[in-house]
Amino acid sequence: MDLANADIAIHLKDLHKSFGDKHILNGFNLTLKRGENVVVLGKSGSGKSILIKCIIGLVPPDKGEIEIFGQNTLKLSPKDMDIIRSKMGFLFQSNALYDSMTVRENLEFPLKRLRISKSKENINSMVEEALTNVGLPDAVDLMPAELSGGMKKRVSIARTLIMKPEIILYDEPTTGLDPITAKEITNLMLEVQKIYNISSIVISHDIRCIELIADRIVILMDGINYAQGSFEELSHSDDERVKSFFL
Amino acid sequence: MRFIIVSARIYFITIAELFHFGVRFIKEVVRPPFEWKEIARQSYLLGFLSLGLVSITAFILGLVLTIQSRPTLVEFGAESWLPSMVSLSIIREIGPVITALICAGKIGSGIGAELGSMRVTEQIDAMEVSGTNPYKFLVVSRVIATTLMLPLLVILADTIALAGCFTAINLKDSISFPLFFRQVFVALNYTDIFPSVFKSILFGFFIGIIGCFMGYQTKKGTAGVGRSANSAVVTSSLAIFIIDLIIAQLSDLLFEL
Ligand SMILES: Nc1ncnc2c1ncn2[C@@H]1O[C@H](COP(=O)(O)OP(=O)(O)O)[C@@H](O)[C@H]1O
Ligand SMILES: [Mg+2]
């Protein structure tokens, strides 16, 4: 890997994406350093989910560059992209747990598919470790339908953590949860961040979550990185449009 | 008028997308790695679990077809032709088409709804970021399973329908099993069996690929899932009749001249 970029996890340059004549991203730029937590803030429908789906390669951007660990991912073969993805976690807004599989099978899925480990014992202990880290050691044989919203989110985080990712992209991790559970999930995110030394991009509207998590906040508006700064800076901004997020 | 143009446009776009989806199948099916375990699991879920439904329907069909053909043949004094006549219509037409229609209803709608809900809840995206090609894992395995299972289900249905026929004859008359068996096979020819098996394979392929296509391209949340299951059944049933027509014409050209 390119040593010059060793402390940069993700670098986005001039990202464009439209659907028909609807311009969603219009030249978005972002640099995520290793170990940093960046929060992306934006109105509903402003293209936040599209942005992180571009990063993980689920949605191809129309124009622009995406570099992850110094590699231009838009030019990678599917095989090399899988190697990059095995170092990244993606937390879906809807959790996206496989309903036809138990919690255990959900967690085993990425391990088996990316051939991380072959031995059954090894896989079992990884599943246990991941579930313990999210505080759900007893849920291993339940089906997703039997879990509460907060538990689903935890299992979903466990499924991401089991790959020991270096970067996690969180899509609205606390949206739709009650305030207490939201606080718990936020603390869990902080905790795992510390245990595994993870860099992350967090999409969130939840001011209390943002205040705890964000090293830096980027505001996505009109398809560009409209403003950025610390929580302190942005919440006292002179720009009404920026300030309105913090009211 | 505008409405017709708009719907015709959507119709042709869908056909083109379906075609594209099918071409992708052909590309991916030959490229390793192969998902053997998933193919076996789907064959069990889609094939084995349809045995009961297919068997009951086939038995009733054999029975009813025999009961209803009987009076006409009796009128002409051609009662002894009953086994040959019924077996021909079962093996050439009724067996494959009815089995395929039942499977379009049971398997096609199931695939459409399952993949549709996986799409709208982002489970398909989740597979992709977990280093799995979801097309291969979900679509290829299901289409291979339906393509392999349908001919087997049709052969089973044909056999059971003939058992139904045998039962129906013995309700009014009596015919020994060896005689019945001989009469059935005297009437049958490889030109009856080959097109029937061939079209069963095609039916299986189209039920699978249409079900997967409808599910895979589901949009607009949970309401879209219902629509996908529905279009999977409607489109694959229509496809079954169109294939049936084409194969009938082709085998007529190839074998009867
Ligand atoms: N596949 C698609 N086709 C057309 N429009 C889309 C598609 N996906 C998303 N959009 C549109 O892109 C916009 C941004 O979506 P999204 O990134 O999900 O917003 P959010 O910031 O709330 O996460 C929305 O207006 C949505 O309607
Ligand atoms: Mg979103």
Please tell me the predicted confidence (pLDDT) of residue B172.
85
Q: Average pLDDT of B214-233?
A: 92
| pLDDT category of residue A5 using cuts at 50, 70 and 90 | low
CA–CA gap between residue A60 and residue B193 (Å, rounded): 49
Q: A131: exposed, middle or buried (C-beta count within 10 Å: 0-12, 13-18, 19+)?
A: buried
Question: In angstroms, what CA-CA distances link B40 with A112, A114, B26, B145, B216?
Answer: 18, 21, 19, 7, 21
Q: Average pLDDT of B238-250?
A: 94
Q: Average pLDDT of B42-46?
A: 93
Higher pLDDT residue, A192 or B101? B101
* Mean per-residue pLDDT of chain B: 92
Q: Does B130 touch chain A (CB under 8 A)?
A: yes
CA–CA gap between residue B150 and residue B145 (Å, rounded): 8
Please tell me the predicted confidence (pLDDT) of residue A3.
45
CA–CA gap between residue B167 and residue B213 (Å, rounded): 41
| pLDDT category of residue A1 using cuts at 50, 70 and 90 | very low
Please tell me the predicted confidence (pLDDT) of residue A61.
94
Q: Average pLDDT of A66-85?
A: 89
pLDDT digits (tens, 9 = 90+) for B146-193: 999 999 999 999 999 999 999 999 988 888 889 988 988 888 888 888
Residues of chain B contacting residue A176, judged by C-beta atoms under 8 Å apart: none
Residues of chain B contacting residue A88, judged by C-beta atoms under 8 Å apart: 129
Residues of chain B contacting residue A85, judged by C-beta atoms under 8 Å apart: 129-131
Task: Tell me which residue in A57, A92, A113 faces B122 most closely, judged by beta carbons.
Answer: A92
Q: Look at strands A22-33 and A8-19 and give their pairing.
A: antiparallel
Asked if residue A223 has its Cβ within 6 Å of ligand 1, the reply is no
Asked if residue A46 has its Cβ within 6 Å of ligand 1, the reply is yes
Spatial contact of A219 and A38, defined as CB atoms under 8 Å apart:
no
CA–CA gap between residue B155 and residue B164 (Å, rounded): 14
DSSP bridge pairs for A41: A219
Please tell me the predicted confidence (pLDDT) of residue A117.
66
Please tell me the predicted confidence (pLDDT) of residue B173.
83
Q: What number of residues does chain A have?
A: 247
Cβ count near A91 (within 10 Å):
24
Residues of chain B contacting residue A58, judged by C-beta atoms under 8 Å apart: 125, 128-129
Q: How far is B47 from chain A (nearest CA, A)?
A: 18
**Helix or strand holding residue B63 (H, E):** helix B51-75
Spatial contact of B77 and B183, defined as CB atoms under 8 Å apart:
no
**Contact residues of A toward B, CB < 8 A:** 53, 56-58, 78, 82, 85-86, 88, 90, 92-94, 96-100, 109-110, 113-114
Q: Average pLDDT of B122-126?
A: 94
Please tell me the predicted confidence (pLDDT) of residue A6.
67
Residue B76 sits at φ, ψ, to 5 deg, of -90, 5
User: Does A4 score more than 90 pLDDT?
Assistant: no
Quote the ligand 2 centre to A206 CA distance (angstroms).
13
Q: Average pLDDT of B179-208?
A: 91
Full-model pTM: 0.88
Identify the residue whose C-alpha is closest to ligand 1 atom 26.
A45
Spatial contact of A69 and A84, defined as CB atoms under 8 Å apart:
yes
* Closest-approaching ligand to the CA atom of A44: 1
Domain boundaries, chain B: 2-256
Work out whether the CA dihedral B152, B54, B46, B20 comes out positive or negative. Answer: positive
Q: B72: exposed, middle or buried (C-beta count within 10 Å: 0-12, 13-18, 19+)?
A: exposed
With pLDDT > 70 as the criterion, what percentage of chain B qualifies?
99
Q: What number of residues does chain B have?
A: 257
Q: Average pLDDT of A200-210?
A: 90
Q: Look at strands A37-41 and A216-221 and give their pairing.
A: parallel
* Mean per-residue pLDDT of chain A: 88
Tokens of B136: 């291969």
What ipTM score was computed for the predicted complex, to two decimals? 0.88
Residues of chain B contacting residue A110, judged by C-beta atoms under 8 Å apart: 130-131
Asked if residue A49 has its Cβ within 6 Å of ligand 1, the reply is yes
Q: Average pLDDT of B102-110?
A: 95
**Which residue, A211, A215, A188, is CA-closest to A201?**
A215
Please tell me the predicted confidence (pLDDT) of residue A161.
87
CA–CA gap between residue B181 and residue A211 (Å, rounded): 81
Cis check for the bond before A60: say yes or no (omega within 30 of 0).
no
Domain boundaries, chain A: 1-77+205-247
Please tell me the predicted confidence (pLDDT) of residue A53.
94
Q: Does B189 touch chain A (CB under 8 A)?
A: no
State the Cα angle at A100 between A98 and A102, rounded to 5°: 80
Looking at residue A62, its amino acid is: D
Which atom of ligand 1 lies at the shortest distance from residue A44's CA?
22
CB crowding A211-246: b at 16 or more within 10 Å, else e:
eebbebbbbbbebebbbbbebeebbebeeeebeebe
Q: How far is B137 from chain A (nearest CA, A)?
A: 10
Task: Tell me which residue in A53, A86, A94 faces B131 most closely, judged by beta carbons.
Answer: A86
Asked if residue A48 has its Cβ within 6 Å of ligand 1, the reply is yes
Q: Average pLDDT of B90-102?
A: 94
Does the domain at A1-77+205-247 match CATH 3.30.2290.10? Answer given as: no
User: Does A115 score more than 80 pLDDT?
Assistant: no
User: Does B257 score more than 70 pLDDT?
Assistant: no
Asked if residue A204 has its Cβ within 6 Å of ligand 1, the reply is no
DSSP bridge pairs for A28: A15
Asked if residue A47 has its Cβ within 6 Å of ligand 1, the reply is yes
